[in-house]
């Protein structure tokens, strides 16, 4: 199973993309990375890593893995959590990146749960994940890259979380990957790697 953890800094990502010859709008992407850094600030992942590393992993999955070069998809991958996890709004995203990127970010932004309890949060998340089945392909690509970043090192998480997240990924995300050959193959490898969680 290929793991995408090389691009921990934008400078590394930029150099790799430039060297690959991929037709990627590096300046536009750099603006998105700058905005993500500004909005996420000092936020950290549950592992303690700077939040921007997750965003760059999702970008790496799309560019190095799936071969995606569409500017809106790549920018949305870098910005996919800003509305959900920072004070930034969709209006803020649209002001800086336009309606196409904003629509993709909107699709992958989990709405707040109606209630405060664990049950309400789980129900809201399940509804959000089911709704992704209606999303445009570009938004699905962003979500798939996000989930690859999250599950590629699933073994670093608490055991109960591992089992829950594995089941959730099989139920909601793996079906989204079916029409996308690269993602379908990657998730098949991942599923074998973590089969002990079934």
Residues with a catalytic annotation lie at 84-85
Task: Give, to the nearest 10 degrees, the angle between helix 10-20 and helix 26-40.
Answer: 160
The pair of structure tokens assigned to 185 is 């193959």
Spatial distance between the Cα atoms of 186 and 62, rounded to a whole number of angstroms? 12
**What is the distance in angstroms between the CA of the first residue and the CA of the last residue of the chain?**
18
Asked whether the beta carbons of 12 and 26 are under 8 A apart, the reply is no
Spatial distance between the Cα atoms of 64 and 83, rounded to a whole number of angstroms? 26
């Amino acid at each position: 199973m290929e793991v995408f953890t090389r691009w921990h800094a934008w400078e590394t990502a930029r150099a790799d993309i430039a060297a690959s010859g991929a037709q990627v709008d590096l300046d536009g992407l750099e603006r998105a990375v700058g905005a993500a850094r500004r909005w996420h600030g000092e936020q950290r992942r549950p592992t303690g890593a700077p939040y921007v590393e997750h965003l760059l992993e999702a970008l790496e999955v799309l560019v190095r893995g799936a071969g995606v070069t569409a500017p809106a998809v790549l920018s949305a991958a870098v910005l996919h959590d800003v509305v959900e996890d920072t004070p930034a709004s969709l209006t803020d995203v649209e002001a800086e990146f336009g309606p196409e990127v904003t629509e993709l970010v909107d699709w992958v932004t989990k709405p707040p749960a109606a209630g405060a309890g664990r049950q309400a949060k789980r129900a809201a998340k399940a509804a959000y994940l089911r709704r992704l089945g209606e999303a445009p392909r570009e938004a699905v690509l962003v979500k798939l890259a996000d989930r690859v970043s999250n599950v590629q090192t699933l073994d670093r998480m608490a055991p109960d979380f591992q089992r829950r997240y594995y089941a959730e990924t099989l139920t909601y995300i793996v079906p989204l990957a079916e029409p996308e050959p690269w993602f379908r193959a990657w998730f098949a490898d991942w599923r074998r790697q973590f089969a002990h969680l079934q």
